[in-house]
Structure formats: structure tokens, C-alpha cells
Amino acid sequence: MRKQLDTVISPKSKLTKPITKPKATWVEPKFFADVEYRDITSEGLLRASSFKGLFRDDKS
């Protein structure tokens, strides 16, 4: 997964809501993540999430 993400590294975040994360590496939104989760918290975070796979969007 790291090799795939290294091909789309971005110098800054594309998020509209700022996140403070030391040593974060931002990437262009070229992939879709398949994730299952039980709920979304009041802060908008996924609860009991499980990563299922990463897929590239070749249309963009």
C-alpha cells in the first residue's frame, strides 16, 4: 500500500476541516478505501472500523 500512496504524495492537506497530526503525509485523492464500521461519533470519526482494501481511481 505504501508504494501505491508514494506515487500520489501532496505537499498539503485537501481536507476542508483542519486536522493536527504530527508527521502526517498527505496524498492526492486518487484511491478509494473499502471500510466497514459500526457507527460514526459526534466528532465524525468512525467507530469499530475495519479496513478491507484500497482501490485506485483510474478515471481521474
Domain count, the chain: 1
From the list 21, 5, 3, 1, the residue with the least C-alpha distance to 13 is: 21
What pLDDT sits at residue 59? 67
Higher-scoring residue by pLDDT: 10, 58: 10
Distances (CA, A) of 13 to 36, 39, 48: 24, 25, 25
Look at residue 58 and tell me whether its pLDDT is greater than 90. Answer: no
Yes or no: say if 46 and 37 are a contact pair by the CB < 8 Å rule: yes
Range of the domain at 36: 2-56
What pLDDT sits at residue 60? 54
